[in-house]
Structure 1
């Protein structure tokens, strides 16, 4: 039987990707004390970074939003791997978004909206969350965006 969240993904014509393996010495998630912590996810698609480069230097807000959406789908894939059923998510608590950007780029919140908007579209009110959107000068593998998440679990 398909759960409510997976049915919503299907209705939105979205499919969870294969989970990515860690690229360094960390675990992809920890489920502890009623919370699921998902490590930072890059915009990985088919085993490689789908959106690379810096916002403000060759990439625009729309490119960044696309990257953030891919990161969010990878977060949900990790959550499904951790929980077995996405319907166990009681509430999205926090997203932290890191945007590879030039010093004069200031639209980090718009970029991270690519993940935030998609999360609310998929989870409904359970997708509303606290958030940080931070600019940085580089990210692993040249990725344009990296996002991590915390969820409260039933």
Structure 2
């Protein structure tokens, strides 16, 4: 089953790839690796979601935001490679969670993205990962995730 067929079977529709909000590129290729810049969750109109996990959002809500970021990451991968079928491995995710000082469920939050990648790429989706809490993120977003993907020609 192709990845586009898998997405359809999971009723997943990818958003348009988000535009950079600074002086950087959405992704950089070197060899067979694709490094994807950190992305944020957005609402249905494409506006960034803002707030702090542990104050404005629960861990469960933030996990949903991490899934939204995963959809954005997939959209960038598809735009850069032309097809998600070229992905040969999800190598690494770095997830950052904007939290209150007492919040400790960072891995649970980033599981929203990790679980999505496992659904979309069952054999290739297991990856190395870091999940960290931070005092703030750009524009007050609750979650930011970047990725490293291996692809085939």
> Normalised by the shorter chain, which TM-score bucket?
over 0.9
CA–CA separation in structure 2 for the residues paired with 1:23 and 1:62: 27
Partner in structure 2 of residue 148 of structure 1: 146
TM-score (norm 2): 0.95
CA-to-aligned-CA distance 1:25-51 (integer Å, 9 cap, x gap): 1000011111011100100243211x3
- Over the residues paired in the alignment, what is the CA RMSD in angstroms? 1.0
Contact 1:69-1:115 at 8 Å conserved across structures: yes
> How far does residue 58 in structure 1 lie from its aligned partner after superposition?
2.3
Give the distance between the partners of 1:79 and 1:58, measured in 2 at CA.
30
1:36 aligns with 2:34: yes
Q: How does 1:5-154 map to 2 (within 5 A)?
A: 5-45=3-43, 46-49=45-48, 51-154=49-152
For residues 6 and 16 of structure 1, what CA distance do their matches in structure 2 show? Answer: 10
Question: Secondary structure of the equivalent of 2:35?
Answer: strand
Aligned residues: 151
Tell me the distance in 1 between the aligned counterparts of 2:105 and 2:23.
31
TM-score, length basis structure 1? 0.95
Bigger proportion of residues as strand: 1
Deviations 1:114-144 (A, max 9, x none): 0001110111020110000010111112111
Unaligned runs of 5+ in 1: none
Q: Deviations over 1:58-113 (max 9, x none)?
A: 21111110110000000000000000010000000000000000111000000000
State the 4+ residue runs in structure 1 displaced beyond 4 angstroms: none
What CA distance in whole angstroms lies between the structure 1 residues aligned with 2:35 and 2:136?
23
Give me the whole-angstrom Cα distance separating, in 1, the residues matched to 2:51 and 2:98: 7
Asked if the contact 1:20–1:44 (Cα under 8 Å) also holds between the matched residues in 2, the reply is no
Task: Name stretches of at least 5 consecutive residues in structure 2 with no aligned partner.
Answer: none
